[in-house]
Amino acid sequence: MPELPEVETVRRGLLPVMEGQVIQSADVRRPDLRWPLPPQMAARLTGQRVTALRRRSKYILADLSSGETLIIHLGMSGRVLISGQMQGQFHHSHPAPQKHDHVVLDMENGARITYNDARRFGAMDLAATEQVEAHKMLAGLGPEPLGNAFNETYLTDRLAGRMTPIKSALLDQRVVAGLGNIYVCEVLHRAKISPRRKAGRLSAQRAAALVPLVRDVLNEAIAAGGSSLRDYRQADGELGYFQHTFRVYDREGTACSTPDCTGTIVRIIQSGRSSFYCPQCQR
């Protein structure tokens, strides 16, 4: 599933062709994705100006001049692609309709935004902008890891006394929003903390040290266009490249990259998810 860096990369790709632009027409080609799409979705989108294009956790939020916000979640295989406008050095003409193109937005500037989702695990909804933070998909989310509210004091307090593994604690969207399996594995390796270690048994110093590492990993991944595993593409159709710099994720059986460490990366299962780490340097 696309994590924060992938969603932020898609948002940034959409910014120049969506923010401040009018949706000339909306074509909603099926009644549902993971859940039913909102009633009269095409009519509610058509003619509206996108006043702001934001991200909250793993969701893209398009604020509309109607006072509603379009909430987009990419799910496991959702892709948002742009055609008809220059993207960097490339011009992408409108492609022929594809089987899994479920929502298509034609903008007044000539750009076409196509949401394609083969497995339909994504979701879209419309909600009043003033109340969007209370929407069922957004309510209860923790602070953004790149924002000021996510700081050393906050994280130390939230981890104190928790007897769940630190990996599970950092994946808890109520603790911090947007972190997923890939980037938590990478953060814990840099911190030299085992994913098995109980969150509440980390010293305050080690817990606090996670904050800048989380930001470093996320910023590096965003700069690389995210990580392309399976279905993910940037909004211009290009792959992300952060997967080429993974230190532990999906590197089972390879040598640990930590200087002077002679360990080997292993894979374990925690709560149904794969965790990759070095048992020698991550304690």
Alpha-carbon span 103 to 257, nearest angstrom: 43
Q: Which residues contact 181 (CB under 8 A, 6 or more apart)?
A: 3, 171, 249, 273, 274, 275
Quick one: DSSP state of residue 52? E
Alpha-carbon span 77 to 2, nearest angstrom: 8
Indicate which residues carry an active-site annotation: 2-3, 58, 273
Rounded to a whole number of angstroms, the distance between the first and last alpha carbons of the chain is: 28
User: In whole angstroms, how far apart are CA 178 and each of 121, 147, 168?
Assistant: 17, 12, 13
Q: Among residues 101, 85, 109, 106, which one has the least CA distance to residue 25?
A: 106
- Angle at alpha carbon of residue 3, lines to 248 and 132, rounded to 5°: 155
E strand or H helix at 169? helix 166-171
Q: Quickly list DSSP for 71-115.
A: EEE-TTTEEEEEESSEETTEE-PPPPP-TTEEEEEEETTS-EEEE
Alpha-carbon span 187 to 204, nearest angstrom: 17
Looking at residue 174, its amino acid is: R
